[in-house]
Amino acid sequence: MKFLHIENTNPKQTVSKICILTCIILLIFTVTTALLKINRYKLPSTAFGDLKEPESLPSASVKKCDIFSGEWVPNPEAPYYTNTTCWAIHEHQNCMKHGRPDSEFMKWRWKPNECELPMFNPFQFLEIMRGKSMAFVGDSIARNHMQSMICLLSRVERPIDVSHMNDFSFKRWKYSSYNFTMANYWTPHLVRAKKMDSNSALFNVYIDELDETWTTQIKDFDHVIINGGQWFLGPIVFYEKQKVVGCQYCDLANMTHSNLYYGYRKVFRTTFRSILSLENFKGTTFLRTFSPSHFENGLWNKGGKCVRTKPFRSNETKLEGYDLELHKIRLEEFKVAMKEGRKKGLKLMLLDTTQAMLLRPDGHPNKYGYWPNENMTLYNDCVHWCLPGPIDTWSDFLLQMLKMENVRSISTNMLHR
Ligand X SMILES: *[C@@H]1O[C@H](CO)[C@@H](O)[C@H](O)[C@H]1NC(C)=O
H/E stretch holding 273 reads helix 260-276
Residue 384 known to be catalytic: yes
- Provide, rounded to whole angstroms, the least separation between the CB of residue 15 and ligand X: 21
Chain contacts with ligand X (rule: CB under 6 A): 83-84, 94, 96-97, 131-133, 179, 244, 252, 254, 313, 315-316, 373-375
Cβ pair 144, 384 in contact under 8 A = yes
Residue among 45, 69, 140, 293 flagged as catalytic: 140
Residue among 381, 392, 396, 409 flagged as catalytic: 381
Cβ pair 306, 296 in contact under 8 A = yes
- Phi first, then psi: give them for residue 65, nearest 5 degrees: -145, 125
- Provide, rounded to whole angstroms, the least separation between the CB of residue 19 and ligand X: 31
Q: Is the peptide bond before 58 cis (omega within 30 degrees of 0)?
A: no
Cα–Cα distance measured from residue 198 to residue 261, given in angstroms and rounded to the nearest whole number: 26
Residue 50 known to be catalytic: no
- Phi first, then psi: give them for residue 376, nearest 5 degrees: -135, 150
Cα–Cα distance measured from residue 155 to residue 80, given in angstroms and rounded to the nearest whole number: 9
Cα–Cα distance measured from residue 83 to residue 52, given in angstroms and rounded to the nearest whole number: 45
- Provide, rounded to whole angstroms, the least separation between the CB of residue 141 and ligand X: 21
Nearer Cβ to ligand X (57/196): 196
CA 165 to chain centroid, in Å, comes to 24
Cα–Cα distance measured from residue 305 to residue 297, given in angstroms and rounded to the nearest whole number: 7
* Of the candidates 273, 305, 286, 329, the residue with the CA atom closest to the CA atom of residue 379: 305
Q: For residue 213, with 0-12 CB atoms within 10 Å meaning exposed, 13-18 middle and 19 or more buried, which class applies?
A: middle
Cβ pair 47, 320 in contact under 8 A = no
- Provide, rounded to whole angstroms, the least separation between the CB of residue 398 and ligand X: 18
Residue among 384, 392, 396, 409 flagged as catalytic: 384
Largest CA distance in the chain: 66
Nearer Cβ to ligand X (26/252): 252
Strand extents, DSSP E, 222-359? 223-226, 236-240, 243-248, 284-288, 347-351
Task: Kindly report the length of the chain.
Answer: 417
- Provide, rounded to whole angstroms, the least separation between the CB of residue 351 and ligand X: 21
- Provide, rounded to whole angstroms, the least separation between the CB of residue 107 and ligand X: 14
Nearer Cβ to ligand X (303/372): 372
Nearer Cβ to ligand X (242/373): 373
Nearer Cβ to ligand X (73/299): 73
- Provide, rounded to whole angstroms, the least separation between the CB of residue 255 and ligand X: 6
**DSSP conformational letter for 389:** S
- Provide, rounded to whole angstroms, the least separation between the CB of residue 324 and ligand X: 19
Residue 381 known to be catalytic: yes
Task: Name beta bridge partners: 381.
Answer: 366
Nearer Cβ to ligand X (287/386): 386
Cα–Cα distance measured from residue 141 to residue 110, given in angstroms and rounded to the nearest whole number: 19
Report long-range pairs for 31-35 (Cβ below 8 Å, ≥24 apart): 33/1, 33/118, 33/119, 34/116, 34/118, 35/1, 35/2, 35/3, 35/118
Active site residues: 140, 381, 384
